[in-house]
Amino acid sequence: MNIEMSQTNLLDMDLDCLVSYVFEDEIDPSLESLELNKSLSDYITDLINDGEVNGRFGQLNLVHTHKNAKQKRILFAGMGKKQDFNLDRARKLAANVAKFIRNKNFSVSGALAGRIELPKAIAVSDFFSAIVEGASLGLYTFEDHMRKKGDSTKPESSSLLLGGLGGLTNKQQDAVHKAVETAKVVSESAKLARDLVNEPANLMTPTILAERAKLAAKDTKLDYQSLTKKQIEKLGMGAFLGVAKGSHEEPKFIILKYSGDPKNPDKELGLLGKGITFDSGGISIKPAANMSAMKGDMGGAAAVIASMYGVARLELKINITALVPATENLPGGSATKPGDLLTAMNGTTIEVENTDAEGRLVLADALAYANDQGLSPLIDIATLTGAIGVALGSVSMGLFSNDDTLANQLNESSLDTGEKMWRMPLWDEYKDQNKSTVADIKNTGGRQAGSITAAQFLHEFAGDTPWAHLDIASVFMSSKVDGIYQKGATGQPVRTLISLFTKLAAK
């Protein structure tokens, strides 16, 4: 679906459908502001008085005009009570509206988004942004490998025009136009992450992931580099290579560099993503049930690559280097065994107690490399532990950090995007569970507090550098269709990361 701003009054346009957003507690029975009501002999007023159009959240009422207006139909989209309305609800509602329009196969529709008196806490530009994100993400499909396509052909044949800007100031209109263009880029970035995660593992090997990262860098201000196995060996990344040993696929260490603030080259943030393109668990093999979902164990890498793509498209004034250690974790004849000892890039020795705790091993070397390059602060994204889902369910990702400022910045950005996160503790008492009798540290602390001990392991390699870890294993996939999410990859936390970087760039 093409989503564009309309400079023409939508009420003067021939449309298949006109979308009118209405609050439950502020429906005007006279509808004096909606000229269409007069054309329809107050028919809409009758529907409101009868309770058929009531504005309850999520309720969609389609009204046919029977050729008494330029618009063939009016779709009333219920926003619920004004006091309960927020941007997350706006995205979900816009997603459902877009799906309705697509399923009806309407050609050109328009939404009177600028005619609503929003709650004071919501800027009109943010509302437009939410509509664009909601519609774009809600219509996402992944049917690249299907001979018979489903709904994926319909979105391209329809358009949604956003209008109702007549009552806004010039400053507000400029802000809306900018917000809409930004929302398009952010949505495209999130959908890129979804695409990468949804690909089958045989079509998303470390080499292919590197090629997709290179493609994302093309035509943007991203510098791309991918280190080969020999280069990784020369750097002494024994933890990363220990995970890669069981696979015939060559590991890749992907580096994407964005220099949007060349006057401050010393200020360079590090963004790291776990890139396990398939995780069988290695010798500590996983149960067969649902193992196919482990094609998405590179969800952190996908989020990092997609976020860098968005940052470059938006040309933010910030410097970021992204690091993606990419490999498969398979139980081959040369695979690392439980009880083996690995040496990370920074010299730390690691006892491998469980080969299925591999994500922290590849990130250990990535964090050591980031510190060696002087990157700060550091943010790593990983589908790290099943334990985070036990703690937080499928609602929220886990946030771990050694720096309150960075943690608060991430949390504030997540509130803007609706990609929920919850800060978890990093108390010293949890470190004891990672103690080894034969090495500096072991790679698992056992079942209790599994997500915390995993984060504590990473903390050892982040050191004193301001650092945050997002465990997205609980939210990187959706088991159902819900608003902006389809069944499959969610693209989290791309929108939150771009929001954070936008704010940091503005400072």
**Are 95 and 138 in contact, with CB atoms under 8 Å apart?**
yes
Q: What is the total residue count of the chain?
A: 507
Does residue 360 have an active-site annotation?
Answer: yes
454: CB partners within 8 A, 6+ apart: 357, 359, 360, 384, 385, 387, 444, 445, 471
Strands, sheet with 341-343, edge to edge from the N-terminal-most edge strand: 341-343, 349-351, 441-442
**Are 274 and 380 in contact, with CB atoms under 8 Å apart?**
yes
> And the tokens for 101?
């329009």
> And the tokens for 35?
């000229």
Active-site residue (options: 82, 104, 214, 286): 286
Burial category of 474 from C-beta neighbours within 10 Å (exposed 0-12, middle 13-18, buried 19 and up): buried
What is the DSSP pairing of strand 378-382 with strand 467-471?
A: parallel
Q: Is the dihedral of CA 20, 23, 27, 32 positive or negative?
A: negative
Q: How far is CA 198 from CA 228, 455, 487, in A?
A: 25, 26, 10
**Are 303 and 273 in contact, with CB atoms under 8 Å apart?**
yes
Does residue 73 have an active-site annotation?
Answer: no
**Are 358 and 329 in contact, with CB atoms under 8 Å apart?**
yes
Burial category of 54 from C-beta neighbours within 10 Å (exposed 0-12, middle 13-18, buried 19 and up): middle
Distance CA 246, CA 282 (A): 7
Amino acid at 183: A
Active-site residue (options: 194, 212, 360, 495): 360
The catalytic residue positions are 286, 360
